[in-house]
C-alpha cells in the first residue's frame, strides 16, 4: 500500500471538508487529486509496460492483459482449452475468437471490426482518458458531488474524442474511481455499461483496483474480475501486439 498517496488523499479530504461554502472544485482540481491518489502523474508516466494477471467469474477463467507504450494492448483469456485474444498494435487491432464459426476451433486472427477497434484504441491508453485529456481530444465536465451507495462521490463526465462517453464516480475521500458508466454508440445504437472498482492496492507506487465488476447498466448481472498480479516495466516484445500471420495452437 502506498503511504504517501493516501496521506495526500486524506489531506484533500480535510481541505474539501472545509469548503462547504466555497465554489465547486474545477475539473483540473478533481483530476489532479485523482491522479495523485493513483500514485502521481510521474509514477504513471514511468510505466512503460504493464501486465495484469486476473481471474474472471466463478470458474476463474485466467485473463492476461498487457500494455506497452505507445498504445499497444493485448488481452487474452484461456477458456475451454482455447485462447481468445484482443490486441491492438497502436494502429491496427485484431482478435482470435476460437468460438467464431460453427463447431469452434477457429484460431485464425481476424482484423477487428470498427467498433472493436474504437474500443481497443481506448483500452490501449494505459494512463486512462483522464491523463492529458485535452491533448487526447477528450472533453471533461464536472457534474458535481452526489451520493453513490450512501457515500459522496465526485462525478466527471468524459466525452471521448471518438464520441463515446465515460462518467467517472470518484470517491470524495480518496479520489479513487469507484465506478464508471460508459455509453457507447454501436452501429447507431446506444449501449450503456457499468463497471465498479474495489480492493485497491499499489504496485510500483501506483494504485490498481484488484476487483473489477462489469455488466450492462440497469441489470443486476455482473462479471467479476479479480486481479492477482500487476507487473510493471517487464520486457515485452512488440510482436505480441502485432497480428500474427498464423495463430499459435
**Which residues between 146 and 185 bind other proteins (CB under 8 A)?**
149-151, 171, 173-174, 176-178, 180, 182
**Under the phi-then-psi rule, with left for phi > 0, alpha for psi from -120 to 50, and beta for the rest, what region is 150?**
left
Of the candidates 16, 65, 94, 236, which one interacts with other proteins according to CB under 8 A? 65
CB of 57 to other proteins, least distance (A): 5
Rg (CA), the chain: 19
Extract the C-alpha cell encoding 52: 495484469
**Under the phi-then-psi rule, with left for phi > 0, alpha for psi from -120 to 50, and beta for the rest, what region is 163?**
left
Extract the C-alpha cell encoding 16: 474539501
CB of 22 to other proteins, least distance (A): 22
Q: At residue 114, what are phi and psi to the nearest 5 degrees? A: -55, -35
Restricted to residues 118-137, the positions that interact with other proteins (CB under 8 A) are 119, 122-123, 128
Q: Which is nearer to other proteins, 29 or 56 (CB)?
A: 56
Interface size with other proteins, residues (CB under 8 A): 80
Q: Which neighbouring-strand residues pair with 85?
A: 76, 96
Of the candidates 139, 198, 233, 234, which one interacts with other proteins according to CB under 8 A? 198
Of the candidates 49, 186, 214, 231, which one interacts with other proteins according to CB under 8 A? 214
CA distance 178 to 35: 14
For 50, 52, 66, 208, the CA distances from 239, given in Å and listed in that order, are 15, 18, 12, 26
CB of 91 to other proteins, least distance (A): 20
Restricted to residues 3-62, the positions that interact with other proteins (CB under 8 A) are 3, 6-7, 10, 38, 52, 55-62
Does residue 236 touch other proteins according to CB under 8 A? Answer: no
Q: Which is nearer to other proteins, 67 or 89 (CB)?
A: 67
DSSP string, 167-189: EEEEETTT--EEEEEEEEEETTE
Q: Which is nearer to other proteins, 82 or 92 (CB)?
A: 82
Q: Which is nearer to other proteins, 23 or 81 (CB)?
A: 81
What is the contact mask toward other proteins in residues 76 to 115, using x (rule: CB under 8 A)? -xxxxxx-x-x----------xxxxxxxxxxxx-------
Q: Which is nearer to other proteins, 92 or 100 (CB)?
A: 100
Of 85, 81, 87, the C-alpha closest to 104 is: 81
Side-chain-side CA neighbours of 173 within 13 Å: the count stands at 8
CA distance 189 to 183: 10
Amino acid at each position: 500500500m502506498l503511504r504517501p498517496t493516501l496521506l495526500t488523499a486524506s489531506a484533500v479530504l480535510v481541505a474539501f471538508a472545509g469548503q462547504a461554502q466555497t465554489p465547486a472544485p474545477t475539473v483540473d482540481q478533481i483530476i489532479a487529486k485523482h491522479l495523485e491518489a493513483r500514485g502521481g502523474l510521474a509514477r504513471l508516466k514511468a510505466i512503460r509496460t504493464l501486465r495484469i494477471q486476473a481471474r474472471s467469474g466463478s470458474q476463474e477463467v485466467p485473463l492476461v492483459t498487457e500494455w506497452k507504450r505507445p498504445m499497444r494492448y493485448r488481452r487474452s483469456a484461456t477458456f475451454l482449452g482455447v485462447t481468445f485474444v484482443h490486441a491492438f498494435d497502436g494502429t491496427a487491432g485484431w482478435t482470435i475468437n476460437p468460438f467464431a464459426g460453427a463447431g469452434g476451433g477457429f484460431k485464425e486472427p481476424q482484423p477487428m471490426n470498427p467498433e472493436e477497434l474504437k474500443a481497443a484504441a481506448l483500452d490501449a491508453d494505459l494512463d486512462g482518458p483522464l491523463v492529458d485529456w485535452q491533448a487526447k481530444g477528450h472533453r471533461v465536465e464536472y457534474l458535481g458531488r452526489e451520493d453513490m451507495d450512501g457515500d459522496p462521490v465526485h462525478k466527471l463526465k468524459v466525452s471521448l474524442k471518438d464520441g463515446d462517453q465515460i462518467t467517472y464516480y470518484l470517491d470524495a475521500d480518496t479520489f479513487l474511481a469507484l465506478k464508471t458508466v460508459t455509453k457507447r454508440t454501436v452501429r447507431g445504437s446506444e449501449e450503456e455499461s457499468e463497471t465498479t472498482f474495489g480492493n485497491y492496492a499499489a504496485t510500483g507506487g501506483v494504485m490498481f483496483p484488484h476487483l473489477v465488476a462489469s455488466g450492462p447498466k440497469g441489470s443486476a448481472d455482473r462479471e467479476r474480475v479479480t486481479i492477482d498480479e500487476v507487473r510493471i516495466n517487464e520486457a515485452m516484445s512488440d510482436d505480441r501486439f502485432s497480428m500474427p500471420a498464423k495463430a499459435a495452437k
